[in-house]
């Protein structure tokens, strides 16, 4: 009786290695990376808000250079003052978004090596602003470029994290281009 030998297959000897699936869920090191980045973002944002609140009165500002000023303002809404009278709604939506990001990370954290850093920035910034909304009913904004509404480090971390996530999605997990194969005999003539 001949023995059947299969090469290049998974342990079930049926699926080729090229289509074998690997777990994309976050492992211990991805979770550690996410937590480190999120905690660093949260800490940096909270520290800068404390410094601004302790050294500048509300609506007071200091010119730094060019169009940049440190201007102490409060924002009870989200980006550009949207939902400024709906703090409870903003708290619920932000909590839901952070929960969704954590679930996404648990299922896909190993998909790309930069994912823990990108999501860590978004989650850290979101949680920092969420803490302020729950504790104070507003966030402290202070980075003012005159031609743009004032913002804080958490807002910057969120935007940078989203841009990185967008770039990851744009340039990874795409099907490779299929090369056009020409007829070799036609090119020799």
3-class DSSP state of 178: coil
Quote the CA–CA distance of 29 and 64 in Å, as a whole number: 39
Contacts of 94 (CB under 8 A, 6+ apart): 126, 129, 130, 133
Contacts of 62 (CB under 8 A, 6+ apart): 56, 69, 70, 71
Residues designated as active site: 141, 155
């Amino acid at each position: 009786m001949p023995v059947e030998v299969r090469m290049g297959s998974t342990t079930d000897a049926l699926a080729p290695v090229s289509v074998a699936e690997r777990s994309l869920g976050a492992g211990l090191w991805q979770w550690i990376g996410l937590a480190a980045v999120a905690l660093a973002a949260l800490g940096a944002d909270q520290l800068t808000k404390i410094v601004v609140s302790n050294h500048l009165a509300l609506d007071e500002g200091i010119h730094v250079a060019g169009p940049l000023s440190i201007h102490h303002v409060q924002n009870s809404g989200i980006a550009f003052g949207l939902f400024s009278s709906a703090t409870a709604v903003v708290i619920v939506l932000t909590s839901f978004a952070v929960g969704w990001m954590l679930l996404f990370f648990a299922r896909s954290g190993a998909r790309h090596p930069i994912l823990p850093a990108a999501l860590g920035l978004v989650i850290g910034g979101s949680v920092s602003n969420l803490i302020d909304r729950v504790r104070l009913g507003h966030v402290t904004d202070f980075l003012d470029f005159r031609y743009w509404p004032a913002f804080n480090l958490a807002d910057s971390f969120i935007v940078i994290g989203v841009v990185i996530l967008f770039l990851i999605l744009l340039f990874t997990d795409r099907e490779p281009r299929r090369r056009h194969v020409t007829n070799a005999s036609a090119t020799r003539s």
